[in-house]
Amino acid sequence: EIVLTQSPGALSLSPGERATLSCRASQSVSSSYLAWYQQKPGQAPRLLIYGASSRATGIPDRFSGSGSGTDFTLTISRLEPEDFAVYYCQQYSNSPPLCSFGQGTKLEIK
Amino acid sequence: EVQLVQSGAEVKKPGESLTISCKGSGYSFTTYWINWVRQMPGKGLEWMGRIDPSDSYTNYSPSFQGHVTISADKSISTAYLQWSSLKASDTAMYYCARRSFYYDSSGFRYYFDYWGQGTLVTVSS
């Protein structure tokens, strides 16, 4: 089973600043199967990035994803007030079809 | 419009059985796998398993294998998550999510593009 470790666990930044969130896998993950989600309190998660670097429909271009192998990054170029939330990375392997999430990074307003 | 609508919140006692549901609409239900995800209070997301509604083939996370059963009725575009004997530790929010896919020259990409609103299950004596 692939374990995803996100860092930092929490990040305090101000609106307008740049956020860099990390996701490290215990073994190599195909970038095709790496996604990022945003979750706000009381809401279901929302897809941000799939295939490690492709933005989902309607996601602003201040969100970007990168990485390969075991190291992946979600970058928010200029934080807006609505970006403060918890972010999860996810890998979905196809053979066998198994999925795992990172433990999450909480992005807080400084 | 694609929607996944889950059944309402449940309050149960330890040892009781429970089935919660997730109804898809606005798309071909048999084309996309449905996944179930647990979120315990104040904690992160945990993948439980998935079902292919076209043939009801399932895969489970090792952590949940034998503790829950995932099923589907494609005639009514609904997936289910079932417990035969609840424990207090099953108290959590449960989400269903559609696994979508995208194919290009680099191959397939898989992701959860639509999520249900969540079903809160509380197990307490």
Contacts A96 to B, Cβ<8 Å: 59
Residue B120: other Cβ atoms inside 10 A: 16
Q: Minimal Cα–Cα distance from A78 to chain B, Å?
A: 24
| pLDDT at residue A97 in the model | 72
Tell me: the pLDDT tens digits for B11-30? 999 999 999 999 999 999 99
DSSP β-bridge partners for residue B89? none
Q: Give residue B104's pLDDT band: very low, low, confident or very high (50, 70, 90).
A: confident
| pLDDT at residue A1 in the model | 81
Task: Look over chain B and give the mean of its residue pLDDT values, rounded to a whole number.
Answer: 96
Which residues make Cβ contacts (< 8 Å) with residue A82, sequence separation at least 6? Answer: none
**Interface mutation target, options B55, B102, B110, B117, chain A, most CBs of A under 10 Å:** B110
| pLDDT at residue B38 in the model | 98
Averaged pLDDT, B69-80: 98
Rounded percentage of chain B residues whose pLDDT exceeds 90: 92
* pLDDT above 90: residue B108: no
- Cβ contacts of B59-68, under 8 Å, gap ≥ 24: B59/A96, B59/A97, B59/A98, B61/A98, B61/A99, B62/A1, B64/B38, B68/B36
Q: Which strands, in side-by-side order, build the sheet including B78-83?
A: B3-6, B18-25, B78-83, B69-73
Q: Minimal Cα–Cα distance from A7 to chain B, Å?
A: 14
Averaged pLDDT, B36-52: 97
| pLDDT at residue B103 in the model | 86
| pLDDT at residue A31 in the model | 86
**Nearest beta carbon to residue A101 from set B47, B109, B118:** B47
| pLDDT at residue A58 in the model | 97
Question: For chain A, which ranges sit under pLDDT 50?
Answer: none
| pLDDT at residue A64 in the model | 98
Site of tokens 């209070």: B41
Q: How far is it, in rounded angstroms, from Cα B78 to Cα A95?
A: 25
B116, two tokens: 């249900």
**Nearest beta carbon to residue B111 from set A1, A47, A86:** A47
| pLDDT at residue B107 in the model | 81
